[in-house]
Amino acid sequence: MRVVVCTVVHHPADARILHRQIRALLDAGHQVTYIAPLGAGPVAAWPGLTLAEVPRAVGRRRLSALRAARRQLARYAPGADVLLIHDPELLLVLPLVRRRPPTVWDVHEDTAAALGTKAWLPAALRRVVAAAVLRAERTAERHLHLILAETGYNARFRGTHPVVPNTTYVPDQPAPYDGRSRVVYVGHISPDRGAAELAELARLVTPHGVAVELVGSADAAARAVLEPAVAAGLLRWHGYLPNDEAMIITGGALAGLSLLQDDPNFRHSMPTKVAEYMARGVPVITTPLPLAVDLVERHECGYVVPFAPATAPAAAEAVLTLQRDPALRDAMGERGHQGASQYLRWPEDARAFVAQLEQWAGGAQGVRGSGDIRGPEGVQGSGGAQGPRGAGAPGAAAAAPPTPPSSPVSAQDGR
C-alpha cells in the first residue's frame, strides 16, 4: 500500500504522526510519502519513507503553507492508495486536488473549542470561525473517512467513527528513580497548558532542591513567562525534542506534570503525556481533567491537583511529598507502569490502525457507523478535585485516596 501523509501545522517529528502512525505503516511493509514542514526539525530517513517539504502554518501565516501543500498533494496523491491528513486547514485544499485516493482525516482535537485559546485569532472572530469549523467538519464527514483521537469526539459528528487513541510504547522495565529530585513536563507549552503554573511551581520547589525540567516548544505568551524563570535558574527548558529523546529525559524522574487548565478542548481528551509518564513508571501530577483523573485514580499512580489558581501550591505539595518518600514514588510509578502495560500499549492499536487504512485503500466503505478501533480501558472520568489527591499505598481505595501530609506550601481548592 502506498500512503501519503500530510500536515502543515504539526512538528514533523510529532509523536502521533511520525513515531506511531507512520512507523506502524512502515513496519507493516507499506510505502509512505510524508509531506510536512521539515524545516521545523529533522526526520530520520527510514527505509520506505519519502519526505516532501512544505512551510509550516503558524498563526495567521498559513496561506503559503496551504499553497505548497496543494502542490505537493497534486504531485504525490494521485499515485497513492490512501491519503491521510492531520490538519483541518487541509480541508480547504482537498477540493483542488484532482484524482485523490480514498482520503482520511485524523481528527486530533476539538478544533472549534481550541480556537478560544488561539492568541493569533482576534477575539471578535472566534465565534464566527468556530461555527465555520463545525460546518466544515459536517461537510468533511460526508466526503472523507474519519479517525478520531478520542472517543468523545464522536459527539461532534452524525456518524460513529473509528478511534485511534493516543496510546504509547511501554517498555518492559522502566528506568528506576534516579534520585535527582527532578520533575518533568513533556509537550507543547502555552498559557492554557499551564505555562504560568509550571513557572510558579519551579519557584516553590527549587528552594527544596527539586529541579523542574520542560521538554517542548512554546508559543510567544508562554515564552514571556518561561524565559525569565530560565534566566533566574528556576527552570531547565530543553526546547522541542523528538519523542524518543523526550522519553529518555522522562525516565527516572520524581514525577511527570500535566497542569493543563480547564479548557473545553481538553475536557474530552486524555493528555498523551499522562500515558507516557505511566509507561515510564513515573508518578503523574495532573489537574482534574476527567480522563486524566480516571487513569490516575484507577491505577493509584499519582496526584490530582486543582485548577488555577491553586494548581502550583498543590502540585508543589505533591512533589515534596514524593521527594520525602521515595518508596511511595516507586510504588506509584510501578502501579502506573502496570496500568499502561495493560491498557495503553500502542502496538495493539497500531495493528488495528493499519488494518483500517488497508480496508479503506481497498475500496471498502465501512467507515460510517463503525465503532472504536480500540480505546483505553475506563475512559470516562470522575470529575473534579479538591487539593492534591493521590494513592498513598497499595490497596488504597481509589474513590478516596489520601492527600499528602501538609508541607510548607498548603494545598487549596481552586475550583
Convert the chain into a string of H (helix), E (strand) and C (coil): CEEEEECCCCCCCCHHHHHHHHHHHHHCCCEEEEEECHHHCCCCCCCCEEEEECCCCECCECHHHHHHHHHHHHHHHHHCCEEEECCHHHHHCHHHCCCCCCEEEEECCCHHHHHHHCCCCCHHHHHHHHHHHHHHHHHHHHHCEEEECCHHHHHHCCCCCCECCCCECCCCCCCCCCCCCEEEEECCECHHHCHHHHHHHHHHHHHHCCEEEEECCECHHHHHHHHHHHHCCCEEECCCCCHHHHHHHHCCCCEEEECCCCCHHHHCCCCHHHHHHHHCCCCEEECCCHHHHHHHHHHCCEEECCCCCCHHHHHHHHHHHHHHCHHHHHHHHHHHHHHHHHHCEHHHHHHHHHHHHHHHHCCCCCCCCCCCCCCCCCCCCCCCCCCCEECCCCCCCCCCCCCCCCCCCCCCCCC
Class of domain 182-341+378-390: alpha beta
What sign does the CA torsion over 61, 63, 68, 69 have? positive
Q: How confident is the model at residue 218 (pLDDT cuts 50, 70, 90)?
A: very high
168-186 mean pLDDT: 97
136-154 mean pLDDT: 89
Residue 372: the pLDDT is 42
Q: What percent of the chain has pLDDT over 90?
A: 70
Residue 37 has pLDDT above 90, yes or no: yes
Residue 144 has pLDDT above 50, yes or no: yes
Residue 221 has pLDDT above 90, yes or no: yes
What are the two backbone dihedrals, phi and then psi, of residue 201, each rounded to the nearest 5 degrees? -60, -45
Residue 125 has pLDDT above 90, yes or no: no
Residue 124: the pLDDT is 64
Residue 156: the pLDDT is 84
Residue 28 has pLDDT above 70, yes or no: yes
Q: How confident is the model at residue 114 (pLDDT cuts 50, 70, 90)?
A: low
Residue 412 has pLDDT above 60, yes or no: no
Q: How confident is the model at residue 371 (pLDDT cuts 50, 70, 90)?
A: very low
CA gap 108, 291 in Å, rounded: 16
Residue 235: the pLDDT is 97
Residue 397: the pLDDT is 32
Q: How confident is the model at residue 390 (pLDDT cuts 50, 70, 90)?
A: low
Task: Give the pLDDT confidence of 90-104 residue by residue, as tens digits.
Answer: 998 999 999 999 999
Domain positions in the chain are 2-168+345-361, 182-341+378-390
Q: How confident is the model at residue 405 (pLDDT cuts 50, 70, 90)?
A: very low
167-188 mean pLDDT: 96
Residue 355 has pLDDT above 80, yes or no: yes
Q: How confident is the model at residue 283 (pLDDT cuts 50, 70, 90)?
A: very high
Residue 364: the pLDDT is 39
291-298 mean pLDDT: 96
Q: How confident is the model at residue 407 (pLDDT cuts 50, 70, 90)?
A: very low
Residue 379 has pLDDT above 90, yes or no: no
Residue 31 has pLDDT above 60, yes or no: yes
Choose which CATH entry (3.30.300.30, 3.40.50.2000, 1.10.3720.10, 3.40.50.300) describes domain 2-168+345-361: 3.40.50.2000
Residue 293 has pLDDT above 90, yes or no: yes
67-90 mean pLDDT: 96
